[in-house]
Amino acid sequence: MRLIIIFFLVIFSQCNSPNSTSNLTYLDSLSFLIQKDSSDFKVLSQRAKFYLDNNNIQSAKSDIDQAYSVFKNDINVLLIKGDIYFELNETRISKKSWERCLSVDPNKIECRIKLTNLLCAVRDTSCRSMIDTLAQLQNGIVSTSIIVYLKEMKEYDLALRLLNNLLEEDTVDKEVLYLTSLIYSDTTSTNRFFDSELSEKYFKEIIARYPSDSQVYYNFGKHKQNMSQFSLALDLYNKGIKLNPNSMQTYYNMGFCELELNNYPQAINHFSSAISIDNSFLIAYHARAYAYTLNGDYKQAQSDWKNCLMINPSYIPAIEGLSSR
């Protein structure tokens, strides 16, 4: 109680002092309290969070370590400690902090979300079970940033069920529509949910709602490309490139489609556009060399094979390309 009275007296004097140019800052407030009681782990963790939010990682680490040494089972201390050590790329300590947090309170959603993201990002075998538990605790609602791990693990069934739950809450959420369209358009042999008509329905819905988003044209174009509908893919890629003229992958895919249509000069132009965006784009040099070869321009093809080797001296296709003539 005495500390609180002193604290507010300091604030009052600062605010009313003619020499004061500003109010006592939040950081000053926390530092004042810590100066009076360096064992107050709650205030230490608050200052650590302030330092973390303001990119002063080392000061954040110092405070949170001190807070943890005082009391090792405070939820907020463990949560913030995990965040700080994650920023320091010491994910082993982050993992232990969030696991301890859940051992103290298994229903602490924020700790569970962070731990789930970490375990899934490193492809831990417990990823699926962590997502299952998280979904149960949140009545089937899980963010798309976590559902995407299910897609990567080819757990399409659970991914779609969770996406449908999100769509029931918000039918126009772009990220949900995106991920749903990508699952239905995924031609992986293990995807029993592949459905070209459904994927096109979602692609068209995204375009109707978000017509200036270049990514949906790329995704829809890639779907058409995978279906060997190269002319339709090119139409979609062209729309996307008008919105994002710096997408080297779009130019590369356009070149691929033109190759499949035997339009070699156009393919060369698209590969050249991709290279102009990133002159270390190895597979674009490879593809352009191949297009030059098909177009009968062996000198230019040789030049591009050499470009490949300048980027990667052990690139086998380039070595084979140069030795073939």
Rounded-to-integer distance, Cα 161 and Cα 74, Å: 35
CATH code for position 68: 1.25.40.10
pLDDT at 324: 80
Q: What is the DSSP string of 221-272?
A: HHHHHHTT-HHHHHHHHHHHHHH-TT-HHHHHHHHHHHHHTT-HHHHHHHHH
Q: pLDDT in tens for each of the 325 residues of the chain?
A: 444 444 444 444 444 444 333 335 899 999 999 999 999 999 999 999 999 999 999 999 999 999 999 999 999 999 999 999 999 999 999 999 999 999 999 999 999 999 999 999 999 999 999 999 999 999 999 999 999 999 999 999 999 999 999 999 999 999 999 999 999 999 999 999 999 999 999 999 999 999 999 999 999 999 999 999 999 999 999 999 999 999 999 999 999 999 999 999 999 999 999 999 999 999 999 999 999 999 999 999 999 999 999 999 999 999 999 998 6
* Domain boundary residue, one of 71, 105, 139: 105
Smallest CA-to-CA distance from 146 within 125, 118, 109 is with: 118
Residue whose tokens read 């831990």? 124
pLDDT at 61: 98
Q: Tell me which DSSP letter residue 155 carries.
A: -
User: Is residue 71 domain-resident?
Assistant: yes
pLDDT at 325: 66
C-beta separation of 47 from 55 below 8 A:
no
pTM recorded for the entire structure: 0.81
User: Is residue 185 domain-resident?
Assistant: no
pLDDT at 24: 55
User: Is residue 198 domain-resident?
Assistant: no
What total of structural domains would you count in the chain?
2
User: Is residue 18 domain-resident?
Assistant: no
254: number of Cβ within 10 Å: 28
Rounded-to-integer distance, Cα 274 and Cα 254, Å: 10
Rounded-to-integer distance, Cα 113 and Cα 74, Å: 18
User: Is residue 320 domain-resident?
Assistant: yes
Domain with 89 in it = 25-105
pLDDT at 14: 47
* Domain boundary residue, one of 64, 83, 105: 105
Residue 104 to residues 73, 115, 133, 255, Cα–Cα distance (Å): 7, 14, 16, 56
User: Is residue 157 domain-resident?
Assistant: no
User: Is residue 168 domain-resident?
Assistant: no
* Domain boundary residue, one of 89, 105, 121: 105
User: Is residue 116 domain-resident?
Assistant: no
